[in-house]
Structure 1
Amino acid sequence: MSGKSYKFQRTISSTAEHCCVPLCAASSKYNSALSFHTFPKDFETRRKWISAIRRDHFAVSPHTRVCSRHFTNEDVREPLSETARRLLRKGAVPALFEWNNFSLPLSGQAGERREVCERRERPVEEQDTSCEEAAGITHDHDYAAAPDPALVDLALDENKALRSEIDQLRKQVQTLHLKQRFGIHRFAGSDGDIRFFTRFGSYDLLMRFWTQIEPAVPSMVRVTPAQRGNFTEPTFPAAHSLQPVDEMFMFLNYLALGLKQHDLADRYGVHQSTVSRIITTWSNFLYAVLGSVRIWIPEEKIRENLPTEFKDYADTTVILDCTELRCQCPTSPHLQSEVYSAYKSNCTLKGLLGVAPHGAVTFISPLYAGSISDKQITRESGILSLLKPGMAIMVDRGFLVDDFVPCKIYRPAFLSGRSQMSASEARETQAIARVRVHVERLIRRVKEHKFFETEIPLRFFGNINQLYSVACLLTNYENGPLVKSWSKKPE
């Protein structure tokens, strides 16, 4: 019975039954002429069915079917009514398959099964397969067969390898994104860029500083959008996208370069209001964290580390000097007179700085109106409570504080109406100037934070003390000694 063609016609049905015989794609969804039969309950007959259809490791379920194409005419009993179903003869076994061209052996029963579906002999090239192609039916795959375990293992191994490759690619993308995004990790390989953007001498110094303050970051008191400068309860993590280390980097950019908040927002890809909150938050955070470290050094510790340049002034505990920051001129004439500095011929804010002989900042006063004198700022700054008899301070000519300072004072000599100094006074003035220059170098380091090079707006007056104090305290972490010869040479 080779060369027969079967035409499948789509039927309307809520369920579809499929033939489990290999290479057979018959389905009740596409032909109502076929009938689908369950496996017999009789054990011996069921065994013959399983053997006949050639399925290895085949598990029969109540929904497993064999279509009527695989039974002879004598095995199939037609229904007595239109609503009845076809039945199989007792003991019938499927015998017609694609691998035997739907025919019986010579010793078996012969004859065509015209009741299954319409068939007629015609050449292969004229066979109509349009219905099968439209239905997506193929005859070379058994959808009911279990997959080969070896193929399953191979697929699992391939999936595992692909997942590993995806993870590696994801990490590479994240690393590339960190390098391209503006932040501390982008400049990790360039100490020159770190110095430019933060004033820290190297990436290593900056990361050492971060290691010191990182444990306090979770308790940071953050500024929220609604508070506008007021504090909220400690919350962590922050609601914005930057990591804490990049927030610190942004704050250092703000001080070191004096960048506008709009510029920082564009660089870091955040809103300008977020930049404002980060700067205020980190200004107060560093002011609290760095300010909690005692910077005043006892005189005995100073003597232990006294540079050789100070051998003639061995009792010097601190070198004092004032610095002024230019600020916006207020509209009020009274306030103008308060902040106007005759020395700078401009409106300024003035502060007193103290540096130990070995170069560390040991005293920072609040900022005062620029009209205050050196003598008055020394009296009001709080430095007097730290000075004791037996100590010595080193000051400039303008510090006429002899009447209330409880310790020795090294100060360059005045001419006091004379035309010239004596030889000993000139030598002493030069010697004091050589060692006193270190406080001026320290002030220069503070003002290398370009934020203080520009005119400070009046709106910053509420936060300027924190910014100024933090910039002064950061000089103790940013660089090495003020004089290179003081640094220890590697052994």
Structure 2
Amino acid sequence: MAAPPEHDYDDRPYPGFVDALLDELECLRKENARLKEENDNISRFWLQRMAGSDDDIRFYTRFASYDHLLRFWSFIEPSVKYMIRSTRSTTGLTSRPKAQALHPVDELFMFLSYLALGEKQKALGKRFNVSQSTVSGVIITWSNFLLCTLGSLKLWQSQEQIKEYLPEDFKNYADTTVILDCTEFRCQTPSSPLVQSEVYSQYKSYCTVKGMIGIAPHGAVTFISPLFAGSISDKQLFLESGICRMLTPDSAVMVDRGFLIDSLVPCKVYRPAFLAGRNQMPENEVGESQEIAQLRVHVERVIRRLKEHQIFHYDIPLNMFGNINQLFMVACLLLNYENQPLVKAWAK
């Protein structure tokens, strides 16, 4: 019987094997890059689909235009790599973050849509094709990130900075540092009578949370207070907000009639005059009151822009109280980036 042929143990690759393997690896690399780019394009579908419509961008994000939004993204993008992501396991303990379901710019778009439209998290999840827990994590993560990133920039402006951008309308009130006003947001009625009494607003006749916003004469938001229970008075809120520490003797604040803060501040207060028991005001007081009222209305316009974020249009549920302060402050901070100048003549 013939012996079986000996096995050829020479395992040297055939000529051109290495080159063929390298060519195949290069093809796989290019295919991987193509699929990654395709996936990025899919994930940005919602934002890119609206790139040609500033009206849609305004509706979904409150930014004035697609260009405004991209400029804002380019401003914060370098800091995104330092973002600390918030996730929670079923046990309530912080868990290791999973792979991102969306590109960061899409997460920003989702968060802005949440503020602008006040959408339920479940509805956002269906629209972006992610789970509700992912939506919740994105909202918490981006509210923390934007509060830290935008809040780290100096909002309060010096008298020199204010005078540099002072509108002509304020020439008779050139020392005005800040224009202040309070705003309230309706909230869910607590079951506890004691808590109800804390958040019940005598002015609105329902339960609210209340905050104070300050703007520079040229319209930029320069001060944001925390939110307080709706029963607090304007004067007490002013005191609790800590803004007094920012004021100096050479500055001035402009407020509404209800802000009786003269004894609390080291500076001048511009406020429309009261009749104070008189049958009529002197002519000079009437003119001054009208002028102050016309200038003070700009802070009301800023607050109106804030309330265009529909998240504040509905009753704030009690389960949002742990995060509503952050959302309020972030929405206020975003006002400086989302909008055109309050008055076209102020644009420089």
TM-score range, shorter chain: 0.7 to 0.9
Q: Which amino acid aligns with 1:409?
A: V
Residue by residue over 1:408-437, the C-alpha shift from the partner in whole angstroms, topping out at 9 and shown as x without a partner, is 000000011223322222211110111111
Residue 396 (1) aligns with residue 260 (2): no
Match of 2:241 among 381, 385, 392: 381
Q: Which amino acid aligns with 1:183?
A: W
* Inter-partner Cα distance in structure 2 for 1:200 and 1:229: 35
Residue 192 (1) aligns with residue 52 (2): no
Higher deviation after alignment, 412-421 or 395-404: 412-421
* Percent of residue pairs identical: 61
- Structure 1 match to 2:151: 291
Distance 1:211 1:228, change over 3 A: farther
Higher-Rg member (1/2) = 1
Distance 1:377 1:180, change over 3 A: closer
* Inter-partner Cα distance in structure 2 for 1:172 and 1:462: 37
Per-residue deviation, 1:228: 7.8
Residue 218 (1) aligns with residue 81 (2): yes
Q: TM-score, normalised by structure 1?
A: 0.63
Residue by residue over 1:291-320, the C-alpha shift from the partner in whole angstroms, topping out at 9 and shown as x without a partner, is 111100011110121100000101101001
- Structure 1 match to 2:11: none
Residues 45-444 of structure 1 aligned to structure 2 (within 5 Å): 174=38, 178=41, 182-226=45-89, 239-444=99-304
Q: Is the 8 A contact 1:410 1:432 kept in 2?
A: yes
SS at match of 1:219: coil
Residues 440-459 of structure 1 aligned to structure 2 (within 5 Å): 440-459=300-319
Per-residue deviation, 1:181: 6.1
Q: Is the 8 A contact 2:89 2:95 kept in 1?
A: no
Residue 462 (1) aligns with residue 319 (2): no
Residue by residue over 1:439-460, the C-alpha shift from the partner in whole angstroms, topping out at 9 and shown as x without a partner, is 0000011111100011000001
Per-residue deviation, 1:215: 1.5
Q: Is the 8 A contact 1:178 1:186 kept in 2?
A: no
Between the two structures, name the one with larger relative contact order (CA 8 Å, sep ≥ 6): 2
Distance 1:210 1:227, change over 3 A: farther
Larger helix proportion of the pair: 2
Distance 1:172 1:351, change over 3 A: closer
Residue by residue over 1:446-477, the C-alpha shift from the partner in whole angstroms, topping out at 9 and shown as x without a partner, is 11110001100000101111000000000001
Q: Is the 8 A contact 2:88 2:94 kept in 1?
A: no
Residue by residue over 1:113-137, the C-alpha shift from the partner in whole angstroms, topping out at 9 and shown as x without a partner, is xxxxxxxxxxxxxxxxxxxxxxxxx
Q: Is the 8 A contact 2:184 2:209 kept in 1?
A: yes
Q: Which ranges of structure 1 fall in alignment gaps of 5 or more residues?
A: 1-14, 16-61, 63-155
* Inter-partner Cα distance in structure 2 for 1:333 and 1:186: 49
Distance 1:302 1:276, change over 3 A: same
Q: TM-score, normalised by structure 2?
A: 0.88
* Inter-partner Cα distance in structure 2 for 1:466 and 1:230: 21
* Inter-partner Cα distance in structure 2 for 1:294 and 1:243: 29
* Inter-partner Cα distance in structure 2 for 1:441 and 1:317: 18
* Inter-partner Cα distance in structure 2 for 1:357 and 1:227: 49
Number of residue pairs aligned between Structure 1 and Structure 2: 333
* Inter-partner Cα distance in structure 1 for 2:122 and 2:219: 36
* Inter-partner Cα distance in structure 2 for 1:285 and 1:227: 23
CA RMSD of superposed structures (Å): 3.0
Per-residue deviation, 1:280: 0.7
Per-residue deviation, 1:345: 0.7
Distance 1:441 1:227, change over 3 A: farther
Q: Which amino acid aligns with 2:64?
A: G
Distance 1:345 1:228, change over 3 A: farther
Q: Is the 8 A contact 1:325 1:348 kept in 2?
A: yes
- Structure 1 match to 2:17: none
